[in-house]
Chain A
Amino acid sequence: MNLITISGPPSSGKTAVIIKTAETLMKRGVKIGAVKFDCLHTDDDVAYEKAGIPIKKGLSGQLCPDHYFVSNIEAVLEWGLKEGFDLLVSESAGLCNRCSPYVKEIKAVCVIDNLSGINTPKKIGPMLRMADIVVITKGDIVSQAEREVFAARVHAVNPTAIVMNINGLTGQGAYELSTMFIDSEQHVKTLKGKKLRFSMPSALCSYCLGETRIGESYQLGNVRKMNLEENSNA
């Protein structure tokens, strides 16, 4: 089985791109399953089901969805193997701009859209910087110049990635993307021992875990204080 991790800011077009790409693969007889990691709520499972793609969803609640991803992907992988999929696609909402659900040796795709503003590529960090493929969506509604400027910004953040423009509505470009989803050499049987491409913040504070009360005594874990003495403009 092949495994692919897809991440990207909310509403960037991940589900649209995955479904269009999966459709071209399914036409060629590839058996696909998907999993969606999100925080509080998602209707993506409905969209996948409608497209005939078996789907599992996981809501991380108060945790960062990417942390949740790491602790659950093994089990999801086992489900995929049991179902006999040729390809398992993991979609995660990139809510935490500090983390990314990418695993070494497992193909990593970042979906980002032309409408999100030219400073977004810089802001979203490892999710973009560590991806193998960057998919840029919503090119159908902005000008050619804006597409070129946006692509140049993406390139400056991640010069090594393959950058593809895909229209999530019409599926233009999805066939081409699909050819990179399947690697006949890859047989992922377990993720045990594999490493994340980039460490997730190691120190979690009590607020990460749902604490809402303010005050010194509630601040557990790794808590840092601002230095208000120094006048910093940095």
Chain B
Amino acid sequence: MHSKEQLLLKSPLELLEKYPYLEAFFTNQAVNMMADESMTLKQIMIQMDESGAEDTAFDATHFLDQLHDFIGQMQEFSGVNSQVVEVLTILPGTDKSGQPEGFVELNFKKSTITSIVGPTGSGKSRLLADIEWVAQADTPTSRTILVNNTKPSTDWRYASGKKLVAQLSQNMNFVMDLTVREFLELHAGSRMIANASIIVDKIIDAANDLAGEKFKADTPITSLSGGQSRALMIADTAMLSSSPVVLIDEIENAGIDRKKALEILTGEEKIVLMATHDPILALMADQRIVIKNGGIHKVLQTSEAEKSMLIKLEEADRRIQQLRTKLRSGESIVDDFFP
């Protein structure tokens, strides 16, 4: 890593060769850094000073500080992957009335699913916020969050490229004016992924596998159906998001294979948290937490009895889906549902 003084003696082009990710940083400057490729940063700065940096809102010292920080962060960022989040732990705090929570230690391991149940407004957002902020007994619940059994680095709080939780909910939509492929390439680019096209193809395949109706890579993302959008968001989050934890707020029971969706996420080693009111989804999880009055009231492991119940529920669900198909194609519904 270069010191600030060393950086000054290089030209932007030289720096770009050494640190390719600087392209994003340079193009985001108010000044065209590539105007004269032979000039060093120092020369460019002197020139800016003379020609009135006022016009372009360019502050040389500030620029140098930020360049230095950016390189440092990016170097760390590309090495961050080495630290996989194996397990996230919550140590109990209190509910809204100050009563201690109903567990001793709660673990979320990678590749497992935890469902979150409880009435709306009971404290799900606070729980999520505690995790995102890696609470250290310093939020209203006084919970403590550990990462890999140790007190986590404050980077999880403050560094912008390093967030613990990715979120998927039903009101989220794509807003960019891009095709599926362009969109995924942009996302891969922001994470500085080398072989973008491989992962992009993988995501499109996985999303098509989840969605009822297939879509093509050149479809604009804004014209995908509800099910297709959700499928793409899930596959993209599983494979391209940098966050180890994925919070899903209910997966609608239409246009998407929910079981496979969860498999993709756990297959990519995500820690999956799922807020739901749907018994099938709740039982697909390995454990479930019950939230009440702002606190975690109970932690339940999905029992063997519940797992066999799940099989029956899935069968019932499959039959209701069949009834839907019959309805749609104009058939009449006869009473062979309850044998």
List residues of A whose CB falls within 8 A of some B CB: 98, 114-115, 118, 121-122, 125-126, 129-130, 134, 139-146, 148-149, 151-163, 165, 170, 172-173, 175-176, 179, 198-199, 201-202, 234
Contact = CB atoms under 8 A, between A and B. Distances in A.
B241 A141 contact: no
A202 B54 contact: yes
15 contacts: A114-B175, A140-B171, A142-B174, A143-B236, A144-B168, A145-B187, A145-B237, A149-B186, A153-B190, A155-B70, A155-B160, A160-B65, A172-B129, A176-B139, A199-B54
A118 B69 contact: no
A144 B190 CA distance: 13
Interface in B131-177: 132-133, 138-140, 157-161, 163, 166-169, 171-176
Contact of A115 (B24, B128, B175, B187): B175
B59 interface: yes
Contacts of B133: 173, 176
Interface of B: 24-25, 27-28, 30, 32, 54-55, 57, 59, 62, 65-66, 69-70, 73, 125, 128-129, 132-133, 138-140, 157-161, 163, 166-169, 171-176, 183-184, 186-187, 190-191, 229, 233, 236-237, 240-242
Contacts, number: 126
Given A155-B161, A159-B69, A159-B73, A144 B173 contact: no
Contacts of A149: 186-187, 190
Contacts of B241: 144-145, 148
Given A143-B233, A151-B161, A172-B125, A159 B187 contact: no
A201 B140 CA distance: 44
Instruction: Report which residue of A98, A122, A148, A160 has the largest number of chain B beta carbons within 10 angstroms of its beta carbon.
Output: A148
A151 B115 CA distance: 28
A112 B191 CA distance: 21
* Binding site secondary structure of chain A: mixed
Contact of B32 (A126, A130, A140, A234): A234
B232 to A, nearest CB: 8
A144 B167 contact: yes
Given A162-B158, A176-B139, A148 B191 contact: yes
Nearest to A140: B171
B24 A159 contact: no
Given A148-B190, A162-B158, A142 B66 contact: no
Contact of A151 (B54, B70, B160, B237): B160
A129 B53 CA distance: 15
Contacts of A151: 160-161, 163
A175 B139 contact: yes
